[in-house]
Amino acid sequence: MSIINDQHDFSTVANVFLAHGSMQSPAFLDGRLCAELGLHDLSPERWLEEVCLALNVEQPQSREAADVLLGWRRQTLDALAAAELNFEPLLPDELFALSERAQGLKEWVQGFLEVVNEVNGDTYDAWSVSLREALEDLGQLTAIDVDIEDDAENENDLFALTEHARMAAMLLYTEQHPGQPQVEQVEDDNGNPPAAGDEPAPQVH
């Protein structure tokens, strides 16, 4: 039975990376994925090529691995396009130390901004003030201190920073996909979630 419709979390994708001999975190590529889906139509084929290049392989080693990698893209696109605003970045969860989770967020932001920073000036200037400010605030997250203690204050701060990244990704997708009605989804259709507001990025202590 195909697992293409299963929910793919950070550990699921990381295990696929490990099976291909890669110790890298999926967070960086997830950041790139979210930005690429927001800026243009990233096909399943192009996404698979990008992941394989990052893993230094010609193709996934199995059909199951390919299903996970393609399901990762499909899951992300569906969440970004959904009216329910249920998108979540693919990051280490509460089973990981807070420092590892902070590192994951930092890498996600680096991947996301790597793609966003490639847009031309005309595209950037056409974005709303809200989006541009959200992206500028996001840039501060690339310098966050990831050597942090596991305590409630840092937990709350990291949650707020993650929420900022989440909202920035949804806002980018919304502005690049205006006026699309919420209809029954098919493979290459995109929805249009309500615009996400921007908030000042707090600091991890």
Domains of the chain: 10-176 (1.20.120.740)
- Which tokens sit at 5? 């419709």
Instruction: Compute the CA torsion angle 86, 4, 57, 76 (nearest 10 deg).
Output: -10
Average pLDDT over residues 71-82: 95
> Locate tokens 């399943």: which residue?
44
**Side chain identity, residue 188:** D
Instruction: Work out the pLDDT band at 17, boundaries 50, 70, 90.
Output: very high
Of 23-37, 90-104, 188-202, where does mean pLDDT reach its minimum?
188-202
Per-residue pLDDT tens for 153-191? 999 999 999 999 999 999 999 999 886 534 333 344 444
- Which tokens sit at 179? 């006026």
pLDDT over 50 at 70, yes or no: yes
Q: What are residue 175's phi and psi, to 5 degrees?
A: -70, -30
Burial status of residue 79 (CB atoms within 10 A of its CB: 0-12, 13-18, 19 or more): buried
Task: Please give the residue that has the higher pLDDT: either 84 or 96.
Answer: 96
Residue 40 makes CB contacts below 8 A (sequence gap 6+) with 176
pLDDT over 60 at 87, yes or no: yes
Instruction: Work out the pLDDT band at 6, boundaries 50, 70, 90.
Output: low
Mean pLDDT, rounded, of the chain: 86
**Side chain identity, residue 35:** A
Q: What is the number of other CB atoms lying within 10 angstroms of the CB of residue 176?
A: 18
Provide the percentage of residues in the chain whose pLDDT is more than 90.
Answer: 75
Burial status of residue 165 (CB atoms within 10 A of its CB: 0-12, 13-18, 19 or more): buried
Average pLDDT over residues 102-130: 95
pLDDT of residue 198: 38
